[in-house]
Amino acid sequence: MTTVSNNAFAPKAGNERFFMGASLAMVLVIVAGFSLQLGMGRSSFSAPLLVHAHAVVFMGWVVIYLLQNTFIATGRMALHRPLGWIAAAWIVPMLVLGCLVTVELARQGRVPFFFRPLQFLVFDPLSLFAFAGLTVAAIVLRRSTEWHRRLHFCAMAILLGPGFGRLLPLPLLQPWAWEATFAACMIFPLIGVVADLRRSGRVHPAWGWGIAAMLGMALATEAITYSPVGDQIYRAVVAGSPGAGVPPLAFAPPPGGPPVPPPQ
């Protein structure tokens, strides 16, 4: 999103419009998801300070992403570039706070009941690292505009999981709640592929790399979740905490529901 390259995928009429519109749609997914939770009383401002810090940093990135696309669409490069370096530094607290919140929820035995505790402990950090990897790649390729903006786009699509997770009826999708959320996140990169085809008849290779990174993250999540390594990680993380009494692959009972027996 920084410098226009002179290759076959240099911006054409409507390119900025697509990325601007898509960024607005992404922000809408996140805002709608969290607003729905708050409106239904499932979220409150009485959460621990760690959760609030994570929320502020996460929403800060959403604002940064929207601003960056707005600056590009309006030609304000003098604002886009310095904000990009702030965004690069922003990745660190996102990783740290995101992982800390995930670990804390697992240790407290408070993983959402429609997720397997071990799977939750794995997919949250892996999603963050996949996001960070794509974002760093986009920064490295900042002089190749069309790579830069598409890799950032795929990284942002990964972060839509919490938004979609609050909009989809995940309790009804159990035991595939996480997989359904991931599939929803994939919609945006696939729309990007279709947009390229409609505009130029070609698909930029950045989409392939971005989608491959997302699929790789999902496959790694499934592989670790159902492996002895995943079980060892879970037990090491929750040792000495209430979460140690929660079976790693058993779903917790829904609020007010009967207890779910651990797997035999």
8 burial level (CB within 10 Å; 0-12, 13-18, 19+): exposed
Measured distance CA(142)–CA(82) in Å, rounded:
13
**pLDDT tens digits, one per residue of 27-73:** 999 999 988 877 766 665 667 889 889 999 999 999 999 999 999 99
More confident residue, 256 or 145: 145
- Looking at residue 254, its pLDDT comes to 83
Q: Which residue has the tokens 């989409």?
A: 207
Measured distance CA(186)–CA(181) in Å, rounded:
9
Nearest to 166, CA basis, from 50, 41, 52? 41
- Looking at residue 9, its pLDDT comes to 43
Do 238 and 106 touch, CB atoms closer than 8 A?
A: yes
Residue 164 in tokens: 């979609």
Report the predicted TM-score, pTM, of the whole model to 2 decimal places.
Answer: 0.89
Average pLDDT, the chain: 89
Distances (CA, A) of 173 to 33, 154, 157, 176, 218: 17, 24, 21, 6, 17
- Looking at residue 30, its pLDDT comes to 96
- Looking at residue 75, its pLDDT comes to 87
94: pLDDT strictly greater than 60: yes
Residue 223 in tokens: 């592989």
Q: Which residue has the tokens 């979460």?
A: 243
Bond into 175 cis (ω within 30):
yes
**pLDDT tens digits, one per residue of 140-176:** 999 999 999 999 999 999 999 999 999 999 999 999 9
- Looking at residue 44, its pLDDT comes to 59
Residue 137 in tokens: 């790649």
263's enclosing H/E stretch is none
Residue 11 in tokens: 């911006």
Amino acid at 34: F
Measured distance CA(212)–CA(123) in Å, rounded:
16
- Looking at residue 149, its pLDDT comes to 95
- Looking at residue 36, its pLDDT comes to 85
DSSP string for residues in 210-259: HHHHHHHHHHHHHHHHTSHHHHHHHHHHHTTSGGGGS-TTSPPPPTTSPP
231: pLDDT strictly greater than 70: yes
190: pLDDT strictly greater than 50: yes
